Homo-oligomer: A and B are copies of this chain.
Amino acid sequence: MKLALEEAKKALETGDVPIGCVITYRGEVIAKDHNRVEEFSDPTAHAEILAISTAGRKIGVKNLRECEIYVTLEPCPMCAGAIALAGFKKLYFGAFNLKHGAVANRFFIAEEYKIPWEHIPCKECENLLKEFFKGVRKGEF
């Protein structure tokens, strides 16, 4: 999660929402990325989609059953859907996404697709987002 948080901070350089993601395969990091929606003008360029795409291409399989994914924020419907399709061994996330969370809040996609998940409370992950949205959305994310 610490590495995912480091990734999240990189998003700030391009004015992107500070969310980071790390994927491990048999204990080793095989992909990491951050939100790049603004950088690429691409609404699909969330940290998870980019990292999953890299991981799949890297290990050469569409099914990431032996991989674990760490995200600083609870995934949105698109990313939770991608995690379900990839069939991860486990999903970990650092902050709850009250508005768009698709694991434990607005939708329950991980459970629907039997993807085990765990919330690893990460105050720094949360504060980074609150700080980012302070001006525009009163710190809500």
Contacts and interface: CB of A to CB of B under 8 A. Distances in A.
A109 B42 CA distance: 20
Interface residues of A, number: 35
Contact of A40 (B43, B56, B59): B56
Q: Copies of this chain, how many? A: 2
A129 interface: no
A51 to B, nearest CB: 10
B102 A112 contact: no
B64 A41 contact: no
Interface string A29-47: 0000000011011111100
Contacts of A61: 41
Contacts of A107: 77, 107, 109, 112
A85 B43 contact: yes
Contacts of A82: 43-44, 78
Nearest to A112: B106
A121 interface: no
A91 interface: no
Interface of A: 37-38, 40-45, 49, 52-53, 56-57, 59-64, 76-82, 84-87, 102, 106-107, 109, 112
6 contacts: A41-B59, A43-B62, A43-B82, A77-B78, A106-B112, A107-B109
